[in-house]
Amino acid sequence: MRQILVAGNWKMNLLQSQGVALSQALAAKYPSSAAVEILICPAFPYLSPIGTAVRGSAVQLGAQNLYFAPQGAFTGEVSGDMLKDVGCGWVLVGHSERRQFFGEQDELLAKKVSAGLAHGLKVIYCVGEQLADRKAGQTEAVLAKQLAGLDQVSAEQMANVVVAYEPMWAIGTGVTATTEQAQQAHVFLRGQLKSRYGEAVAAATRILYGGSVKPDNALELLSQSDVDGALVGGAALKADSFTAIIEAGIQAQTLKG
């Protein structure tokens, strides 16, 4: 039975006071444990104060990126060790904005995934096709290729990896994949995980959906049998909308038994 994970990617939004207020509101709503896992990923400068705000609550802390080297002359970069040091338990790798605006490719992403895991972080590895890929019938080929980011991950390490399916045409656009499109892509990804790691790992690995998840579409998406959570951008920036999505996750978890 896979536990639903609702993760908020704050991207380059919210100043310290706003982020702390939002995280305090979430921590107050989910003070100890919750039926689903809850994660927030603020910008680097605020990881420490926000980590303090959610400490002891059910809200976990993650970063949006890391560099693969352990330390050294890499101006502007942040290591896995540093993320652990400020209280992160998670890191996003391969978000489409990293791929699109910062040219990150699967070979680099594979190193980042390995570095995250080596530093004891859980990794959310993001994949997703562009609209042109989908129109050209290339969705599955693109997803299969992007899974190369997991090439250095062993079956045992997959216990600390979550895959996020985020069609690029649905991110920040208000256009959501239909439940059928999401479920179909998730089934395909699980099949790929099965070929790579076998049945048990494929069945145990959580696959999140991301792309304009909102309170009004969350329950339907999260109720799909292969959708094991949501990676939420815009709707994670306000306590009421993020909380509504978490509550939809709790309801979906109950429905799935």
Does residue 166 interact with ligand PEP by CB under 6 A? yes
Does residue 95 have an active-site annotation?
yes
Nearer to ligand PEP, 150 or 235 (CB): 235
Judged by CB under 6 A, which of 42, 51, 149, 234 binds ligand PEP?
234
Cβ neighbours around 234 below 10 Å, total? 20
Nearer to ligand PEP, 60 or 202 (CB): 60
The answer to whether 36 touches 229, Cβ cutoff 8 Å, is: yes
Compute the least distance from the CB of residue 92 to ligand PEP, in Å: 8
What is the Cα–Cα distance from 62 to 47, expressed in whole angstroms?
Answer: 8
Does residue 119 have an active-site annotation?
no
State the burial class of residue 25 (Cβ atoms within 10 Å of its Cβ: 0-12, 13-18, 19+).
middle
Residue in 173, 187, 197, 195 with CA at minimum distance from that of residue 225: 187
Compute the least distance from the CB of residue 221 to ligand PEP, in Å: 11
What is the Cα–Cα distance from 177 to 212, expressed in whole angstroms?
Answer: 8
The answer to whether 60 touches 89, Cβ cutoff 8 Å, is: yes
Binding pattern for the stretch 130-149 against ligand PEP, x by CB under 6 A and - elsewhere? --------------------
The answer to whether 93 touches 79, Cβ cutoff 8 Å, is: no
Judged by CB under 6 A, which of 57, 192, 212, 224 binds ligand PEP?
212
Judged by CB under 6 A, which of 4, 5, 9, 206 binds ligand PEP?
9
Compute the least distance from the CB of residue 126 to ligand PEP, in Å: 7
The answer to whether 122 touches 90, Cβ cutoff 8 Å, is: yes
Structure tokens at 38: 């809850």
Q: Which of 37, 104, 166, 247 is flagged as catalytic?
A: 166
> Which residues on adjacent β-strands are paired with residue 255?
none
Does residue 233 interact with ligand PEP by CB under 6 A? yes
What is the Cα–Cα distance from 41 to 11, expressed in whole angstroms?
Answer: 8
**Stretch 168-207 residues interacting with ligand PEP (CB under 6 A):** 171-172
Query: Which of these ranges, 30-38, 70-78, 155-163, 211-219, lies near ligand PEP under the rule CB under 6 A?
Result: 211-219
Point out the residues that are catalytic. Answer: 95, 166
Q: What residue ranges bind ligand PEP (CB under 6 A)? A: 9, 11, 166, 171-172, 210-213, 231-235
